[in-house]
Structure 1
C-alpha cells in the first residue's frame, strides 16, 4: 500500500515531523511570584507535567520586553526577556531544563511589526532624516488629505496613524502601537536575521513566525479592492480583499532566507502563521532547492464547521494541495481561537483530540485543551484584549482562550498566590490537572494515551494516509507503516452509527477509544472515536 502524498518523501524524518508541539501561553501557565501573571520560572516548575503529557516541543508565546499593548506581540527588544517573565538567566535555565527532559523549545518571532516603544521606532519617528526612518513604512497624506490608501487594520479602523511631528503617516497592520517594519530595507532585514541568530546561538530549537504572510507590502501601496461578499457579521478588515497588503512574492524570498539560516544550525524548525487558501498556503513550503518554512500553520480544523462531510473535504483537499516534499500539520486551538470544547462541546472535543493526534502530520496542542476547558465568562471589567474593545459588537475577544491554567483545587487553582490577571474557568475546582490525573477516563488521560500511542506506533507518527469510507456522520481514514495497518473511525454525532471496515480485513486490536472500553459489535457509539489495528480476514 502506498500514498501519493508520501511520494518523494525522504527516509529520514526530523524530530518535528514525528513530534507533537505544545503551545504555552506564559502569562496564563504558572505564576511563581504572586503577581497574578505567569512567568518563566512557572513554566520551569511545570516542565515535568509537560514532559509527562508526551509532547516533544514547547512553543512559547512571546516573552520579550514589551509595553503589552497586545500582550507581547508588540516587541520593544527582540533580544531580551520582559521583567514580568524573568530575565535571560531564567530563560537559559528553562531552555537547559527542557533539553534535559528531551523537550525542544520554540520561540515566537514577531517580524511584521515592533512596539512603538522599540528604540528602532523611536529613532525612526524622531526625524525624516534619521537613518532608521526607512526601517518602518512612512508615507505622505493622500493628495486630497487623509491616509495614503484605504487599508484597514486587522483590529479595525485605518491601518495608518498620523505623526504630527514629522508630518507623515506610518503603517500598522494591527494596533497603532505596533508599527509595521519595512522588510524592503536591507539594514532592517539584516538586523532581524541577527535576532534569529541570537536565539539559535543560545540554543532554541526553532521559531513560530507571527503573521508571516504580512511582512512585505506591494510596491506603491495601492488600494485594496472591496470585498463584494462582506457582511456586517464579519470584521471591518474583511470589507477589503488584502491583495496588496499581504502575501507578496518578495515575502517568499525572505522566508527562504530564514530557512537557509535555520538549516545552517541543524534541525531547527520554522513554523509560519499563514491564513490563506490551500493553493497559496502551499507556496510557503517553497521548492526543494529553495525551501521556505517547514510548517505553514494549517488552521482549517478551527475555521470550518464540525461535521463529517466538511472535515472529509478539507482533509482531502489539504492533503492534495501539499507539494511532494511538504509535511502537513494540524491545530484545533490557540491563544487566538475559541477553545475547542467551547466550540463543539466536551464530548466532541474528545473526538477532536483523537483526530488531531492521528491525522498525518505534526499536531500542535494548546494549553488547557488537554483538560477540556470550555466556555469562560469574562466580566466587562476584567476584559483585557484590545481586539475586543476595537470591535466590541462582534464578540471576538480572545481573553476566553487565555484564561489561567487550573492546576488543582487550592486557592486560585494553584496558578498564583495573587489575583489572576484573567478569571479562571468557573468549574476549576473540579476541572483541573490534579483532578484529571486521578481519573483514568478524563480528557487529560485521553491526550496522554494518544501521545503515548503515537510514540510507539510509526503508522501514526510518520505513516501513510488515505481517507476511508464511513457511515453518515462518521469520518474515517487509514494510517499505515510497513505491515501495520490502522483504521481511525470518528463519530461526529451523538447517535450510534455503523462501523464500516475495509473489505477483506477484521479488527485485530482496539488501540484507543474516546469512551470507556466496550465490546465491539459493529457499532460506533455516539461521540465515539476509535483507533483500530487491522489484519487480513483470511
Structure 2
C-alpha cells in the first residue's frame, strides 16, 4: 500500500510518479542504468569546465508517496547520494557538491557525508526573526550549534548560509522593504564562516512574494527595456527597485554595501575561515561576535534596533580596534559603546 495517490499521474492508462509536477516525472533510481546515466551527465559537464553541482530537493530523491508504506526512505536516499558522492570523489575529487535539503539542522545532519555543503535554512530564518524583532536572541550561538550538529558528522563540511532563495518570499519583502535591515542582513551573511550564497536581486533589494513567478522577476539591470538584458515578464513588485546602473553610482546603496562587504571578505581570510564566537555587549539588541585565527581577531557588531543604543564590552579591546568598514556611527567611552540606529561595523583588534 502506498501512503496516498498524491504525485501519481495517469498517462493513457500508464501511471508515473511526479511528486512536484505532472510534467516532471521522477527518475527510477533503483535502476542502475539510470544512475549510470546521471554519472555520465555529470562527466559531460565537468569535462566542459563545471566546478560543481547544486542538488535540488535532495531528500526527495526517494519521495514518501513514491514508495510503499514502511519503506526506509532515509536509508534509500542516503544510499543513492553516497554512491554519487563516491563516484565524484573517485573520478573528480575537486568537484564541489552542494545540496538543498529544506529542513532543520537536526534532520539534515544524516546527509552530512554525502555533500561538501548543504544550504542552511535555519540561518536565514533566524536573521529575519532577529531583524524584525530587534533582538539578537543568541543568533550566533544557535547558528554555531546548528552547524556543529552537521560538521560533527563530517569534519570537512562547509556551511552554505543564505538569506532566502527562489522558493521563498524575498528577504526585502520579509523585512518590510527596510533598506537598513537589508544592510544588516547582508552584513551578517557576508561575515559568516563557510560559503555564503546570494539569491539574485537581493543585492538590489528586489521585492517579491509567492506565487513563484513573483519571487523570480527579472533582474533590474537598467531602465532601458530595449537593451540586451533578461526580461521574461513584466515586474509587479520591482518597477521602482533601483537598478544596478543606478546603485553603482550611489555610494550608500545596498548594492555598494554588498560589493564592499564582499571585498572585505576576500581581502581578510579570517572572515572566511576563522573561528567564530558570540560576544555579550550587555544589550539584547546589540549583536556582536568575533572571527579569529592564530594571527588575527576581528569584531563584528550590529545594532538591530531602530534607535541609538548603549552597550558595554572590554575597554582594552574597544580601545585597540581599527574599524575596517562601517554603516552609521558609533562612539566609545572607555568600556561603553554608543551605536546609532541600525548601524554596524567590522573592526580588526590590534594585539
Partners in 2 of 1:340 and 1:218 — Cα distance?
A: 30
Partners in 2 of 1:466 and 1:283 — Cα distance?
A: 25
- Label 1:534 to 1:183 Cα distance change in 2 as closer, same or farther (>3 A): same
Residue 115 of structure 2 corresponds to residue 276 of structure 1: no
Alpha-carbon shift at residue 520 of structure 1 (Å): 4.9
Partners in 2 of 1:457 and 1:426 — Cα distance?
A: 37
Alpha-carbon shift at residue 283 of structure 1 (Å): 2.3
Specify the alignment match of 1:360 in structure 2: 193
Specify the alignment match of 1:529 in structure 2: 344
Partners in 2 of 1:176 and 1:497 — Cα distance?
A: 54
Residue 97 of structure 2 corresponds to residue 251 of structure 1: no
Alpha-carbon shift at residue 513 of structure 1 (Å): 1.8
Partners in 2 of 1:371 and 1:413 — Cα distance?
A: 19
Q: Does the 8 A contact of 2:19 with 2:63 survive in 1? A: no
Partners in 2 of 1:514 and 1:496 — Cα distance?
A: 13
Q: Does the 8 A contact of 2:217 with 2:235 survive in 1? A: yes
- Label 1:469 to 1:190 Cα distance change in 2 as closer, same or farther (>3 A): same
Alpha-carbon shift at residue 165 of structure 1 (Å): 2.6
Q: Does the 8 A contact of 1:161 with 1:171 survive in 2? A: yes
Specify the alignment match of 1:511 in structure 2: 324
Partners in 2 of 1:367 and 1:219 — Cα distance?
A: 33
Residue 280 of structure 2 corresponds to residue 426 of structure 1: no
Alpha-carbon shift at residue 502 of structure 1 (Å): 4.2
Partner SS, residue 190 of structure 2 = helix
Query: Out of 203, 217, 224, which is 2:49 matched to?
Result: 203
Partners in 2 of 1:256 and 1:456 — Cα distance?
A: 35
Residue 280 of structure 2 corresponds to residue 501 of structure 1: no
- Label 1:446 to 1:348 Cα distance change in 2 as closer, same or farther (>3 A): same
Query: Out of 83, 107, 115, which is 1:293 matched to?
Result: 115
Alpha-carbon shift at residue 196 of structure 1 (Å): 0.8
Specify the alignment match of 1:491 in structure 2: 303
Specify the alignment match of 1:459 in structure 2: 270
* Bigger relative CO (Cα 8 Å, ≥ 6 apart): 1
Alpha-carbon shift at residue 332 of structure 1 (Å): 0.7
Partners in 2 of 1:460 and 1:160 — Cα distance?
A: 48
Taking structure 1 as the reference length, the TM-score comes to 0.57
Alpha-carbon shift at residue 499 of structure 1 (Å): 3.7
Partner SS, residue 187 of structure 2 = helix
* Deviation by residue 1:501-521 (Cα, 9 ceiling, x = unmatched): 346422421112233x56556
Partner SS, residue 216 of structure 1 = coil
Alpha-carbon shift at residue 183 of structure 1 (Å): 1.0
Partners in 1 of 2:171 and 2:138 — Cα distance?
A: 16
Specify the alignment match of 1:170 in structure 2: 16
Partners in 2 of 1:191 and 1:184 — Cα distance?
A: 13
* Deviation by residue 1:392-419 (Cα, 9 ceiling, x = unmatched): xxxx412222111112233478736xx7
Comparing 306-315 with 471-480, greater Cα deviation is found at 306-315
How do 1:119-268 and structure 2 match up within 5 A?
148-150=2-4, 158-166=6-14, 169-217=15-63, 221-223=67-69, 248-263=74-89, 264-268=91-95
Q: Does the 8 A contact of 1:511 with 1:533 survive in 2? A: yes
Q: Does the 8 A contact of 1:370 with 1:447 survive in 2? A: yes
Residue 220 of structure 2 corresponds to residue 406 of structure 1: yes
- Label 1:172 to 1:502 Cα distance change in 2 as closer, same or farther (>3 A): farther
- Label 1:464 to 1:312 Cα distance change in 2 as closer, same or farther (>3 A): closer
Partner SS, residue 533 of structure 1 = strand
Partners in 1 of 2:322 and 2:189 — Cα distance?
A: 21
Q: Does the 8 A contact of 2:326 with 2:343 survive in 1? A: yes
Comparing 488-497 with 343-352, greater Cα deviation is found at 488-497
What RMSD, in angstroms, separates the aligned Cα atoms of the two structures? 2.6
- Label 1:310 to 1:172 Cα distance change in 2 as closer, same or farther (>3 A): farther
Partners in 2 of 1:441 and 1:497 — Cα distance?
A: 22
Specify the alignment match of 2:133 in structure 1: none
Q: Does the 8 A contact of 1:370 with 1:444 survive in 2? A: yes
Taking structure 2 as the reference length, the TM-score comes to 0.86
Alpha-carbon shift at residue 149 of structure 1 (Å): 2.9
Q: How many residues align?
A: 333
Specify the alignment match of 2:172 in structure 1: 341
How do 1:464-475 and structure 2 match up within 5 A?
464-470=275-281, 471-475=283-287
Alpha-carbon shift at residue 481 of structure 1 (Å): 2.1
